[in-house]
Amino acid sequence: MPEEPLLSRPRRNRKSKVVRGFCREAWLSAEHLVLPLFVQAGGQDEPIPSMPDCQRYGLQGGLLGAVEAAISVGVGAVVLFPRIEDSKKTPTAEECYNPDGLIPKAIQTLKKNFPQLTVITDVALDPYSSEGHDGLVSADGEILNDETVEVLCRQALMQAEAGADIIAPSDMMDGRVGAIRETLDEEEYINVSVLSYCAKYASAFYGPFRDALASAPKSGDKKTYQMDPANVREALREAELDVTEGADMLMVKPAGPYLDVIRAMSEAVYLPIAAYQVSGEYAMLKAAADRGWLDERAVVLESLLAIRRAGADVIFSYFATQAARWLREG
Ligand code: PBG
């Protein structure tokens, strides 16, 4: 039997750097990246054991230096997470809307030093709650929805007043996007954006983050508000609601294990999609790289590119500064 001639040879489109460049469907650049930063009061920085090379930056410590480094390689945005002293944590988390608290001070310091920086703030109660939950907890352990949303609105408003550019609710309470949007609009913060953590899964990949903020739940888990890792259609329902409630951008979190959700959401709605490469994803890559089992530069850039290819416009990553530096080096 004569051999069939091989007419299609996909390898022809991979034969040189230039031809591969013609065919590239996704790319990564510094403008896609957001650097998450852990902040604490005072002048000391503290390492986070489960997140090598990440620090909790003191407000008068290394915070400005870390932001300067990010900006110098083209990263234009940061998102702030506070380590609140245990003595300031309460069951009702009042510290979350204290206008003299850690987050408003951090926003003001950053805005004063870097007026062009986009500052994103997290809206949720867990860093401020003695219960370690994103919402208020009733006497019998229920996470209260509507009562929590009222507190979240106060928190969001205080952050807008302090100068935040984008408010990012990560709490997963129902109706919070619309309520926050209304609160901001009533106070004429019409240009402050809402980036909703729309599909946030009840994931074990948040472990190192909770170490960093000492914010793990005191009892129970987050499964009555964060989503079941098994579900994707539910993510689209959340997306539909956030669109109607006036969100400007939607997030999927974690990122790497949920690429199918990013893809589905980016096809289902016309808002920009963000994805969060979370602390556990960072820790995995870092741990393997530190042992010499993986090539750090290559796997980090590949993991971020894969998130872009799946459909994310914006990526929150603890590798943001390092990745942007690598991209600059070419
Ligand atoms: C809490 C919050 C969490 C993260 C961001 N905001 C943790 C959680 O829900 O328990 C996780 C980020 C990460 O793991 O990097 N509102």
CATH number (domain holding residue 55) = 3.20.20.70
Mean pLDDT of 183-194: 98
Give a yes or no: residue 150 inside a domain.
yes
For residue 198, pLDDT over 70 is answered with yes
Question: CB 269: neighbour CB atoms within 10 A?
Answer: 17
In the chain, what percentage of residues exceed pLDDT 90? 95
> What does the pLDDT read at residue 202?
97
Q: How many domains does the structure of the chain reveal? A: 1
The protein residue whose alpha carbon is closest to atom 7 in ligand 1 is 206
> What does the pLDDT read at residue 168?
98
Give me ligand 1 centre to Cα 178, in Å.
Answer: 21
Q: Among residues 88, 200, 222, 286, which one is catalytic?
A: 200
> What does the pLDDT read at residue 110?
98
222 is a catalytic site residue = no
How does the average pLDDT of the chain come out, rounded?
Answer: 97
Q: Specify the amino acid at residue 71.
A: I
Q: Which helix (H) or strand (E) holds 35?
A: strand 33-40
Residue 128, both tokens: 């401020």
> What does the pLDDT read at residue 219?
87
pLDDT per residue as tens digits for the range 41-53? 999 999 999 999 9
Residue 35 neighbours by CB under 8 Å, 6+ apart: 66, 67, 70, 75, 77, 78, 79, 317, 318, 320, 321
Give a yes or no: residue 94 inside a domain.
yes
> What does the pLDDT read at residue 4?
85
Q: Which helix (H) or strand (E) holds 68?
A: helix 63-72
> What does the pLDDT read at residue 199?
98
Give me ligand 1 centre to Cα 327, in Å.
Answer: 27
Give a yes or no: residue 163 inside a domain.
yes
8 A C-beta contact, residue 180 and residue 152: yes
Give me ligand 1 centre to Cα 110, in Å.
Answer: 22
The protein residue whose alpha carbon is closest to atom 12 in ligand 1 is 278
Q: What residues make up the domain containing 118?
A: 29-329
Give a yes or no: residue 86 inside a domain.
yes
For residue 213, pLDDT over 90 is answered with no
Give a yes or no: residue 117 inside a domain.
yes
Q: Specify the amino acid at residue 94.
A: E
Give a yes or no: residue 24 inside a domain.
no
For residue 330, pLDDT over 90 is answered with no
Q: Specify the amino acid at residue 199.
A: A
Give me ligand 1 centre to Cα 209, in Å.
Answer: 6
- SS3 at position 218: coil
**Ligand 1 atom nearest to CA at 277:** 15
pLDDT per residue as tens digits for the range 3-44? 788 999 999 999 999 999 999 999 999 999 999 999 999 999
Any idea which residue has 């608290």 for tokens? 101
Give a yes or no: residue 17 inside a domain.
no
Give me ligand 1 centre to Cα 116, in Å.
Answer: 26
pLDDT per residue as tens digits for the range 120-133? 999 999 999 999 99
Confidence tier at 1 by pLDDT (50, 70, 90): low
Residues having CB within 6 Å of any atom of ligand 1 = 122, 124, 126, 134, 170-171, 206, 209-210, 278-279
Give a yes or no: residue 112 inside a domain.
yes
Mean pLDDT of 128-148: 95
Residue in 46, 64, 42 with CA at minimum distance from that of residue 108: 64
N- to C-terminal Cα separation, the chain:
49
200 is a catalytic site residue = yes
Return the best residue to mutate from 159, 200, 201, 209 for the ligand 1 pocket (most ligand atoms within 8 A of CB): 209
For residue 194, pLDDT over 70 is answered with yes
pLDDT per residue as tens digits for the range 58-117? 999 999 999 999 999 999 999 999 999 999 999 999 999 999 999 999 999 999 999 999
For residue 2, pLDDT over 80 is answered with no
For residue 214, pLDDT over 90 is answered with no
